[in-house]
Amino acid sequence: MVFWEGNDIRMIRIREQVSRKRLGAGRAIGGAGSPQPAGPRPGWTGHVAFTEPDAPEVPDDLEEFKRWGPGIVTLSPFTLAQNSLHGSFGAAGDIAAVPPKAATIGPAQVLEAKHRLSFYSIGVHGTTTSWQKLITRFSLFGPVTPTVPDSIVQLAPTDCLVSDAIAAKITVDWDIGY
């Protein structure tokens, strides 16, 4: 089913071609040994790259998960909502504008990388509002589990950049609103 018309169809096809190229590159990286730096950033669900915790394509056993390589994955409704706020999709909450699947490297490529650099610094339009405040705590200090894919950063030396806004104490503030 196609929800896009006109020039957007061309953009989808371009994205599909790019996704196939990236998937091929991920397989080549996996076959060639350790890739150079990996810098995944967690999403709302704790995905690493786009390896989602609830994607049917992703193993839920930790040992299988750590060996899982690049693939095409089904994006979580949370990721669709998160990405619908990105400027490239209109920054309007239009979930239908976000492709429902993504090409991604897998946990294996992250763990095999010669260097890992994870960023925990995403805010909403320059504010201190961010979904990363909570998931960062799960990723860096919770159990290592496919339920929080980004938690694999705990399994290998990883440089983590955590912004002050993300590191700040989580507090209730009724004055902020949406």
The domain at 7-167 falls in which architecture? 3-Layer(aba) Sandwich (3.40)
Tell me, what's the pLDDT at 87?
83
Q: Identify residue 137 by its one-letter amino acid code.
A: R
- Percent of the chain exceeding pLDDT 70 equals 76
Spatial CA neighbour of 66 closest among 152, 151, 139 = 152
Token pair, residue 117, equals: 């650099």
Tell me the average pLDDT across 41-52. Answer: 90
116 pLDDT more than 50: yes
Confidence at residue 131, expressed as pLDDT on a 0 to 100 scale: 79
Q: What pLDDT band is residue 12 in, cutting at 50, 70 and 90?
A: very low
Neighbours of 52 (CB within 10 A): 24
| pLDDT reading at 73 higher than 90 | yes
Share of the chain above pLDDT 90, in %: 44
> Is 11's pLDDT higher than 80?
no
79 and 43 in contact (C-beta within 8 Å)? Answer: yes
One DSSP character per residue, 6-49 reads THHHHHHHHHHHHHHHHHHHHHHHHHHS--S-B-----TT--BT
**Using CA atoms, how far apart are residues 105 and 40, in angstroms rounded to an integer?**
9
**CA-to-CA distance for 41 and 106, rounded, in angstroms?**
13
Residues 121 and 165: beta-carbon distance below 8 Å: yes
Choice between 153 and 129, residue whose per-residue pLDDT is larger: 153
The pLDDT of residue 14 is 36
13-34 pLDDT per residue, tens: 334 444 444 445 455 545 555 5
- What pLDDT, on the 0 to 100 scale, is given for residue 62? 98
